Amino acid sequence: MRWFPAAALVLALLAIPSARAAENPCNTDRECHFWQTQGSGGTYWLVPHRPFHIIGNIYFVGSRNLGTYLIATPQGNILINPNFDANVAMIRQSIEQLGFKYADTKVLLISHAHSDHNAGAAKMIAQTGAKYAVMDGDVRTVETGGAADFQYGDKPGGLYAKAKVDQVLHDGDRIELGGTVLTAHLTPGHTPGCTTWTMTVRDAGKNYNVVIVGSPNVNPGYRLVNNKTYPGIVADYRKTFQILKSLKADIFLGAHPDYFGMEAKLAKAKAGGANVFMDAAGYQAYIAERQVAFEKTLAEQQAGLRK
């Protein structure tokens, strides 16, 4: 056995956290690390992922577990979710790697007003001149840089650069550019303006319904019972599950790739065959599982009040 001086051992132990930080960039990024302190993940959020074509005019340009989608049109491009400030350069690189121009980003959309999906908006708008469209329930949060968020607004780590909204969206509004039409579905609960996007794409002579889920998740720390800052949160979540179950999803995508099992599907794609993102059954199973999780959390909180 080889023995090391005590000082060397101490130095080695001190080096362990920095090694872990190198493995996960989220550990040292202010915006991303905040979500780790809230128990909401961060793993792979700042780890680049190769960009790829999904179907029709839709491309994935996000990170390992933050979903960003480029929708290319002859009149410029639509981008959903700029993510963290630190993700913007990665997204730009991915867009250009696919052969598109970052400067052609004409419309910027988000899934919801949490910094892991929209903190980079101000930077991206400044760089591209894109018009920013946000669901009405999330506009105030976006324009206050997170300060109006019902859950995280009083936590400095949850704040981000303010961004001016150019178009206030309402349930059922459409975004149209270059022959592409996206419909904004208000699916509240996760945030008051959480948005699920749908569109129809044509690929190989057939039409397919695409659903990009905003989020049906109850974050750690959310109060479903007696929530004074969001009193309608339970009714909103239940409305969301009704809406999501009613949508027809040939292609299932989401604000985080783990919603739809992206890595497993990409591995399966190597074998060839049908487009692996065609997953109507997987979509319905995911929504059903999330609804069960929501009802379980609600029941636990209600039981806690009765004790």
Measuring CA to CA, which residue among 127, 132, 133, 165 is closest to residue 148? 165
Cα–Cα distance list, 68 to 32, 55, 64, 94, 260 (Å)? 16, 14, 10, 10, 14
Q: Residues 48-57: what's their mean pLDDT?
A: 98
Q: Is the pLDDT confidence value at 4 over 80?
A: no
Percentage, residues of the chain above pLDDT 70: 93
Given a cut of 70, whether residue 2 has pLDDT beyond it is: no
pLDDT value at residue 305 = 84
Inter-residue contact 211 to 262 (CB < 8 Å): no
Whether residue 18 is predicted with pLDDT greater than 90 in this model: the reply is no
Nearest partner of 259 among 217, 304, 228, judged by Cα: 217
CB contact at 8 A, 190 and 222: no
Q: How far apart (Å, rounded) are the C-alpha atoms in residues 300 and 87?
A: 36
User: How far apart are alpha carbons 290 and 153 in whole angstroms?
Assistant: 25
First-to-last C-alpha distance (Å) of the chain: 56
So what's the pLDDT on residue 306?
75
Residue-level pLDDT at 140 = 98
State the pLDDT confidence band at 40, using cuts at 50, 70 and 90.
confident
pLDDT of 42: 85
Q: Is the pLDDT of residue 12 over 50?
A: no
Domains of the chain plus CATH, in order, are 45-306 (3.60.15.10)
- Percentage of the chain modeled with pLDDT above 90: 87
pLDDT at 1 over 80: no
Measured in degrees and rounded to the nearest 5, phi and psi for residue 234 equal -65, -45
Q: How confident is the model over 86-101, as a mean pLDDT?
A: 98
Buried b (16+ CB within 10 A) or exposed e, 131-150: bbbbbbbbbbbbbbbbbbbb
Banded model confidence at residue 41, pLDDT cuts 50, 70, 90: confident
User: What CA–CA distance (Å, rounded) separates 136 from 131?
Assistant: 15
User: Tens digits of per-residue pLDDT, 185-238?
Assistant: 999 999 999 999 999 999 999 999 999 999 999 999 999 999 999 999 999 999
Please report, as a single letter, which amino acid is at residue 173.
D
- The reported pLDDT for the residue numbered 141 is 98
DSSP state of 186: E
Cα angle 177-183-188, degrees, rounded to a multiple of 5? 135
Q: Which residues of 213-247 are buried (b: 16+ CB within 10 A; e: fewer)?
A: bbbbbbbeebebeeeeebeebbebbeebbebbeeb
Distance CA(175)–CA(215), nearest Å, equals 20
Q: What is the pLDDT of residues 106-148, one digit of tens each?
A: 999 999 999 999 999 999 999 999 999 999 999 999 999 999 9
Cα distances from 97 to residues 53, 60, 89, 126, in angstroms, run: 12, 12, 12, 21
Look up the pTM and report it.
Answer: 0.92
Cα–chain center distance at 1: 50
pLDDT tens-digit map of 263-276: 999 999 999 888 99
pLDDT on residue 307: 66
DSSP 8-state secondary structure symbol assigned to residue 65: S
- Asked if residue 251 has pLDDT above 50, the reply is yes
Residue 91: phi, psi to the nearest 5?
-65, -45
**Residue 74 token pair:** 């002859």
Q: What is the chain's mean pLDDT, rounded? A: 92
Kindly tell me if the per-residue pLDDT of 104 is higher than 90: yes
Low-confidence winner among 22-31, 75-84, 203-212 (lowest mean pLDDT): 22-31
Cα dist from 67 to 79, 91, 111, 112, 253, whole Å? 11, 10, 9, 12, 8
What local confidence, expressed as pLDDT, does residue 273 receive? 87
pLDDT tops 70 at residue 17: no
